[in-house]
Structure 1
Amino acid sequence: MSEQQNQEEQIRAFQRETFESAQKHLAQKGIIPQTVADKDSRFLAPLCAVWKFKAQNGRSYWVVSGNLPTDHAEINAASNAREAMRYFSFQWQLKAEEIMSSPRVDKTQREFAELLVRRAHGLYELYNNDQLWANEPS
């Protein structure tokens, strides 16, 4: 297998894993995915993917998955995958602040809050990198 074929296979594996993770996350929240909008979803292997799902309840959702906590938001939170990244970045910073400001924060909660902050900063860097979005319709 050539280096390029190996790289393409790794990207396909990443897409499968993040897709399955996104579907599982929604199902755990009681949301049954019906279809995925491939043209609106984005894959930044090996970091993360942003999926746009339509659910059986008729609503649509953004789901972020990959090397970070899997999370979802209703479609009106962002107009496209790039904006969804920014949305999740801000939400995670707020959630981390909420965790850290509670009167009793144990070690696990503190570590999770720190992880959220690191991943929020990483997502914002991806959102803010114009080169990654050069081919995006405006």
Structure 2
Amino acid sequence: MTEINDQESLSKWVREQFQRANKHLAEKGILFESVVTEESRYLAPYAAVWRIRSQDKKSFWVISGDVPADAVPVEAAETAREAMKRFSYSWRMQAENIRRSNTLDKDQQAFATLLDNKADMLYAIASDKKVWQD
């Protein structure tokens, strides 16, 4: 994981994660209109949680960083912190579903383990009161 120890590195990381979030949405057929920066959170180098509004006026929480890119409708969580917990829960369920499938191969097993590890990381960050100023 890359160290973020100056403003230039942080700005570069934020730009890259924003591009990654938009790419993820585009792959799902969702076209970006705007980002609600005051509700988005950047926890470099771990995760960025974006509140993004699409061209069809729907809003999404989108996560990127040292985690799989993912998105949920904004109705799934009120805040970026709650969205992190939502992603954590969702990834745990996805990992469990992968493990219960009858077609489990090494790649799927590795992905399930990755999801569990990233879910642990997100939940720990979301639960750390020192990180959040609610």
TM-score of the pair, normalised by structure 2 = 0.95
Q: Cα deviation per residue 1:6-32 (whole Å; 9 max; x = unaligned)?
A: 611111011001000000000000000
Partner of 2:80: 81
Which structure's residues are more often helix, by fraction? 1
Whether 1:31 aligns to 2:30 is yes
Partner of 2:53: 54
Deviation at 1:71, TM superposition (A): 0.1
Partner of 2:89: 90
Higher gyration radius (CA):
1
Superposition RMSD in Å: 1.2
CA–CA distance in structure 2, aligned partners of residues 9 and 116 of structure 1: 30
CA–CA distance in structure 2, aligned partners of residues 21 and 43 of structure 1: 13
Runs of 4+ in 1 over 2 A off after TM superposition: none
What secondary structure does 2:68 align onto? Answer: coil
Deviation at 1:64, TM superposition (A): 0.4
Structure 2: 5+ residue stretches without partners: none
Deviation at 1:104, TM superposition (A): 1.7
Q: Which runs of structure 2 are paired with 1:1-138 in the superposition (5 Å)?
A: 7-134=6-133, 136=134
Structure 1: 5+ residue stretches without partners: 1-5
CA–CA distance in structure 2, aligned partners of residues 14 and 52 of structure 1: 17
TM-score of the pair, normalised by structure 1 = 0.93
Name the count of aligned residue pairs: 131
Deviation at 1:94, TM superposition (A): 0.1
Report sequence identity in percent. 42
CA–CA distance in structure 2, aligned partners of residues 47 and 7 of structure 1: 16
